[in-house]
Structure 1
Amino acid sequence: MSVPHPLVAKPSAAAAGAGAIKPTVRSLVPTAEHQRVQRLKHDSGIYKRSSRVCVKKACDICKQSKAKCSGETPTCSRCQKLKHQCTYNAVDQRDHRKDMKGQLQRQKEENTQYKEILNHIKTASLPDLRKTMTVLRNPTGTSIEELLMFIRNDGKSILSKQDIRPTPATTDLTLLGNSQVETTDQTVPEQISLGIIDDRPLSDLNLTAEPWTTITDDDELVSHLISSYIAWDTVAWNWFDVDIFLEGMVQKDFTYCTPLLVNCILALACHLSPRIPVRSDPHNPNSLGHRFIEEAIHLWHVECNQPKLTTIISGMLLCEVVSVNGKDHLGYMLFQSTVSLYHRLFEQRESSGKLRRDEKMERALGTTIWGLFRLSTFFTLLNKKKPPMDIPTIKLPENRYGDENADNGSRKQLNPILSLWRPYPYTQPAEPCRLEESVRMCSDICVILHDLIVSQTAGTEADLRALTVKQKKDLYVRAIEWKRDIPRGLNLGDTVAPFVITPHLGYFQLILELSNAPLDPADTEPEELATFREEVKGWYKQGKAGLLHLLGEYDKNYSFAFIPETMLLGLMYAAKIIIEELAPIAESTKRGGTSPDCDSPLDILTELTKDSEEPLATLGAIFEKTIGWLCSVSEQFFTAKLYARALQLSGESLNVVLSDATKKRLDSLFSVGDGSKSRWIEQLYKADSILTLSLGRGTDSVVDVIEKLDGLKV
């Protein structure tokens, strides 16, 4: 039996009998008259809809009763009417959702990490798995981040965790922080020898440890370390705009300052602090610098895939700090990751298509990207690698402190923290910090260095292309023009402050690398080629003389108790020059079949420092001076310790006589105790360096050279 549709009218009996009338459907559309009446009622306000009032937070009683709350404080209208005690203490549902969302995000990150570890277990070879399990079962404990870094670094540990001593190691520097300062006219080395020092933070630099680091809650210590970094390393490298960074740190602006960035700076500053308990020891996990590095690496794992300004700066600083600690292989990996972040950041900028950009961010980005380019130049120059980035297209910031000719209303006044450079001790007179000019000088010389590296690298990274005579001459002319255009007051005779060291160091490196670059013999006639080779020898002597003069002047004015990282680069080059010059002397001595005279092989007069006011007359004297400089910084920078040992062993092969003071310093660095392998040998085995040295015809890593010279490796 069929059921009629409820909207279909039932036909009457008569109609059903007749069968002539069809059923009608009731219309659902309102009639025109009905619409007119409804419109009149609406316009007259009869159907006026009341506005809904929403409250941000309901009280606990209304929330429990699921009643509407007026949200008034201290008592809502409903609780007041019912005479209930009105409270707002319960956790907001939105806060709970936010916490749950954060927990879910952390869970996703942990799952990604565990998947990476599981994939390593599935695909790794048995020897690699054994090494991974050894790290995982470390009695002192291994975090997920440390295990992942071990896996990503091809099974090489970042920082030793088994080499623990109860107290941080110290150098022979006997300075005490915040001791009574005497006003004297002595030089910095004289003040250091007397312990006259003032290591208080720079004026008006009152920074807080929270929320930037969990390693210390001492605000004064954080201010001191940031001040130390500004005084020595910022003015040398200038990786970032320090005024914008400090403003972000004070205002807690995470666009320009993050915990990762602050921990990287604090780790580097421990190499520069004059306070004995703070001084960095790369092999002691109990030292403050070591702990800052560990926290920085932990934070790097969280942010390493975020292409933003602070992550790029942090990558550069982390690359620097692990490299000076003898882990430059890891440093190069961090550097490559940082360059990748730079490329991704600028791809996003281009795809966004913004016509107007933030002026402050553009200044910060310009400073950092050009800093990354300079780091790329020096890194690829040391390792003979193809440059991973081209010359930046972004503008290098100018007028850091505004236009001198503009009126006071329009001139920008930035934080004057870098208007003067005050070296330790502060009793030393301050001098104008001409950082902007020196950064431009350094960037210009790095452009020439970049062109040299590009000319030499072709095809694979292992190949070095021979240069033509014209290529060498063109690059040399550009270098001479750069030197001629140095602004007045920024020559080495005027000052050797850190902001002047870096561009001059780049110039001397350019001359030395250009002199050593291989020549294409098919390019020129033999007679012309022989004449040009003699000319190139003159360039080489000029570069060596300038480099040694730079080191000597810095030692005379400031001593090597405090050095920017750029000075370490200069010391490495000086040691490399001397070691490579000693190799043919040792080789010819062996072929002669007689033991060398104690001093005579190195007592030949040299022209290496003919431009210096106090020339070092012999190669032996240069050897003694350079190894003394390296000893001064070896406890702070493990890379310097590597070169000091290589230089010492090269001298021993020629029976070079050293002073008693130098012998004592070397014995304290490399002494063997209890008839077993010394602590130094253990440190050497843990080094992870890709820096190279040339001994005779072959070129090996600096660690392999030391092992061969020390009889540790056949």
Structure 2
Amino acid sequence: MSGRGSPPNKYRRLAAKPLPIVNDITFLTETGTGTIPTPSSRPPDAAIRPMRKTINVACESCRKRKIKCDGTRPRCSSCESRELMCQYPSAYRGENFTAALKRRCMEENEKTTSFQEIFSTLQSCSDKDAMNMFNLVRQGVDPKYLLKQMKECDFVFQLAVVPETRRRYQFPYLPTMPIRLQTPDNQYLKSVLYETVFLRPDDESSDGGSASSSADTQLGRHHNVYMRPYHAAEVIDPLIDLVKPSKWTAVIADDRLMRALLRAYFLHEYPTFPVFHKDIFLQAMINNDKRFCSSLLVNALLAEACHCHMGIPNREQFWVPQSLRYRFLAEAIRLWELENIRVDLVTVQAATLLNLVYSHNGMDKIGEVYLNHALQKAQQLDLFGDHATIDNERMFHARVFSAWALFDWHIQSYYYYRAPLIPDPPAVPLPDPERHPFWYGDFMLKYPLSSTLVPAQCGQHFKAVSGLRAIIHDMATIGYSQTPYPEDSLEPVLAIFSRLEKWFSELPDALSPQNIVFPWQLKLHMELYLATILFSSKQIGISEPSTIKKETAYSTASHAAARLETITRLYYIRHSFEYSDSFLTIHLSFVAGAAMDALKTTPAHETSTARSLRSTIILSLKGLYDQGQHIHLTSVIYRLLRDRLEPKDLELLQNHVDWDPLTPEEPLLVQYAQSHYPLTMGSKEADPDGARLENLVKQYDQLGFEEDKSPRP
């Protein structure tokens, strides 16, 4: 990408300043923000006074200094040039000062009402419940959150009033980290996360505690992210509060529920699989801007969000007509039939999202048509080019972000043993998130019992994962293109490993092995090692490889496998596998398959190694079972891997999962498993085509049919 030259001038201007909020009547020009010109009745030689932009409300800093404010958000030009903090009394650009005061008054009234309700409840409840509630108030629990939980519970106080946020999750079967992973060079065992959950997991100091003096320095004021599971956090983004999804969908009219779905999506799915720029999309929903939002895109998004929300029953059963997910998806398909001929950015985003939905449903064969459509429309739009003809800076911003998002998503083909469909990464490089944090559109996280807002730092992750997938793109080209490189050539392989090492060494501090903690940060490192294992295994499988290549591949794969399992265990012990995280499926299936293969070759006298491998199998299958409650593809993979277990291992698994959760849906495994997903993970000898999920499910169904026909004793 470095050979493509510097980005266009307008890109550098865009990256150098925060993204402004644009309403329906303004547009961005080469000189700034202006209004749409109208025909003039004045003579040509008459002096024309430029139209003045109306600013509903100035920022607090400009008001105090009594200077003009241009209203740019999140930081006006005056505050940016003087490097001052810029705060607006209004929540959004269209809200004037009077409306802002009225909104604040309403918020204060709601707060007062909440306090009155809590006071009334304290008067009427038992002494024990009153004392428990009082202690929670003393700990800083938000009154609205406390009241919400009280109304949802049968009793005034239960343990569920405030989520358990100080404990760590316990490994199933064996409670400790396996000895085989505790090597001196395993830097993930020296991380803040490891120290927090293993060395002093029960620290309950008033400020959140610390794992050790070295960890204290790293924790800083964001200790909540290390002490508490990610799913306990809430997404804080004012734009979500302002959207009205009911304007974009006819499925339901409950905006409150749909906002909850959006929050679940942005919390669990968006950081890993962004399809659009969050801020541009949400602002377009508010402004009815159909350049960046459409009913098709909103319905597809809500269908995807349903599997992220714990309040949606039977989330993985997308085929049930009465389910909310089915209805959103059906509406999206209806709109797709009407709008797929459009050649615009929002149609590319909707097609990409539909492909993602079908992939999670275990029907990626059907979903391929949407990915191909997205790539075709992207080609027509020259989405992966330099965007030299795009004059509107907001459109330029959205196109660059979407180009990288589509490129990143399509690299999933590597894990399906396929060559990439896009010949090169996007031409315009991504800006440095440290210098241009507003370019990426981050959100804040709020943890229970804490008033501190924590930045999610999605921009750093997006740039890092895009850099990694550019390397994986070349891995796929080397491994699966129709014109492979010479088998006796070591240069391309070593070049790939060199690039991976350089990428790893240049990771920002927040993404280093020492500091990673958020699920998508952990998965970034998991993807690094999984891609390395698959690439190394490809070299091992080459006929008659050179000795040095074989030794390099074996040692690299072994090293990467140990790191992958370590991070997988750290993920579980801090966050568990109970909440939706669709990209865990591929990692968990690999870890499970690798442990199963290793257990088969472990000598009988090595009991400690066998127990360690069994603990890994139980943990990864439990993870697949938990994720299968959200995603149909994962539920199918769980069933197939579970039935490979030996009877004694199957009995162990029964202690950690509910048994036969899929029995009523057993006939639907074949009907709704049209997937190319290769269940070869962990096995170097398996044939990818023979191990495609669709073929394995058919074999599974045939086996069940033969067992039914066999005589009963």
| 1:384 corresponding residue in structure 2 | 417
CA contact under 8 A between 1:178 and 1:199: conserved in structure 2?
Answer: no
2:699 and 2:256 mapped to 1: Cα distance? 47
For the structure 1 residues 297 and 456, does the alpha-carbon distance in structure 2 shift closer, same or farther, using more than 3 Å as the test? same
Query: How well do the aligned residues superpose, as a CA RMSD in angstroms?
Result: 3.8
| 1:420 corresponding residue in structure 2 | 444
For residue 661 of structure 2, the aligned residue among 669, 675, 694 is 669
Q: Per-residue CA shift, 1:146-200, capped at 9, x if unaligned?
A: xxxxxxxxxxxxxxxxxxxxxxxxxxxxx99976853865248699999x97879
Q: Secondary structure at the match of 1:516?
A: helix
Please tell me the residue identity of whatever aligns with 1:364: A
For residue 672 of structure 2, the aligned residue among 666, 686, 701 is 686
| 2:528 corresponding residue in structure 1 | 507
Please tell me the residue identity of whatever aligns with 1:392: P
Q: Across the two proteins, how many residue pairs are aligned to each other?
A: 489
Give the superposition deviation at 1:459: 2.7
Q: Secondary structure at the match of 2:240?
A: coil
Taking the TM superposition and a 5 Å limit, the aligned residue runs for 1:94-243 are 181-182=161-162, 185-187=165-167, 203=238, 205-206=240-241, 207-243=243-279
Give the superposition deviation at 1:372: 0.8
| 2:558 corresponding residue in structure 1 | 541
Give the superposition deviation at 1:686: 3.1
Please tell me the residue identity of whatever aligns with 2:693: V
CA contact under 8 A between 1:492 and 1:550: conserved in structure 2?
Answer: no
CA contact under 8 A between 1:228 and 1:269: conserved in structure 2?
Answer: yes
Please tell me the residue identity of whatever aligns with 1:643: I
Instruction: State whether structure 2 residue 600 is matched by structure 1 residue 620.
Output: no
| 2:400 corresponding residue in structure 1 | 366
Q: Secondary structure at the match of 1:552?
A: helix
Give the superposition deviation at 1:680: 1.6
CA contact under 8 A between 1:182 and 1:427: conserved in structure 2?
Answer: no
For the structure 1 residues 346 and 483, does the alpha-carbon distance in structure 2 shift closer, same or farther, using more than 3 Å as the test? same
CA contact under 8 A between 1:315 and 1:338: conserved in structure 2?
Answer: yes
1:348 and 1:370 mapped to 2: Cα distance? 8
| 2:474 corresponding residue in structure 1 | 451
Please tell me the residue identity of whatever aligns with 1:683: L
| 1:481 corresponding residue in structure 2 | 502
Structure with larger RCO (C-alpha < 8 A, sep 6+): 2
| 1:565 corresponding residue in structure 2 | 582
Give the superposition deviation at 1:566: 2.4
CA contact under 8 A between 1:456 and 1:466: conserved in structure 2?
Answer: no
Please tell me the residue identity of whatever aligns with 1:345: L
2:597 and 2:365 mapped to 1: Cα distance? 23
2:344 and 2:705 mapped to 1: Cα distance? 45
CA contact under 8 A between 1:489 and 1:495: conserved in structure 2?
Answer: yes
For the structure 1 residues 519 and 464, does the alpha-carbon distance in structure 2 shift closer, same or farther, using more than 3 Å as the test? farther
CA contact under 8 A between 1:188 and 1:557: conserved in structure 2?
Answer: yes
For the structure 1 residues 659 and 648, does the alpha-carbon distance in structure 2 shift closer, same or farther, using more than 3 Å as the test? closer
| 1:605 corresponding residue in structure 2 | 609
Give the superposition deviation at 1:373: 0.7
2:625 and 2:638 mapped to 1: Cα distance? 7
Taking the TM superposition and a 5 Å limit, the aligned residue runs for 1:53-92 are none
Give the superposition deviation at 1:259: 0.7
Instruction: State whether structure 2 residue 636 is matched by structure 1 residue 642.
Output: yes
Q: Secondary structure at the match of 1:271?
A: helix
| 2:645 corresponding residue in structure 1 | 651
1:349 and 1:541 mapped to 2: Cα distance? 39
| 1:496 corresponding residue in structure 2 | 517
CA contact under 8 A between 2:384 and 2:427: conserved in structure 1?
Answer: no
Instruction: State whether structure 2 residue 363 is matched by structure 1 residue 336.
Output: no
Q: Per-residue CA shift, 1:412-455, capped at 9, x if unaligned?
A: x7897x242347x6869753222222111111111111111111
Please tell me the residue identity of whatever aligns with 1:551: T
Unaligned segments of structure 2, at least 5 residues:
1-148, 154-159, 171-223, 707-713
Q: Per-residue CA shift, 1:61-109, capped at 9, x if unaligned?
A: xxxxxxxxxxxxxxxxxxxxxxxxxxxxxxxxxxxxxxxxxxxxxxxxx
For the structure 1 residues 422 and 304, does the alpha-carbon distance in structure 2 shift closer, same or farther, using more than 3 Å as the test? farther
1:265 and 1:347 mapped to 2: Cα distance? 21
Unaligned segments of structure 1, at least 5 residues:
1-174, 405-412, 590-596, 607-616, 672-677
| 1:131 corresponding residue in structure 2 | none
Which structure's CA Rg is the greater one?
A: 1
Q: Secondary structure at the match of 1:343?
A: helix
Please tell me the residue identity of whatever aligns with 2:404: W
Please tell me the residue identity of whatever aligns with 1:253: D
| TM-score normalised per structure 1 | 0.61
1:301 and 1:601 mapped to 2: Cα distance? 62
| 1:433 corresponding residue in structure 2 | 456
Taking the TM superposition and a 5 Å limit, the aligned residue runs for 1:521-536 are 529-536=546-553
Please tell me the residue identity of whatever aligns with 2:580: I
Q: Per-residue CA shift, 1:567-618, capped at 9, x if unaligned?
A: 2332233344345556xx3xx89xxxxxxx9xx5995628xxxxxxxxxx62
Instruction: State whether structure 2 residue 575 is matched by structure 1 residue 555.
Output: no
Q: Give the fraction of aligned pairs with identical amino acids, expressed as a percent.
A: 19
1:428 and 1:281 mapped to 2: Cα distance? 38
Q: Per-residue CA shift, 1:512-551, capped at 9, x if unaligned?
A: 1111113597887xxxx33442332221122222222222
For residue 316 of structure 1, the aligned residue among 340, 348, 352 is 352
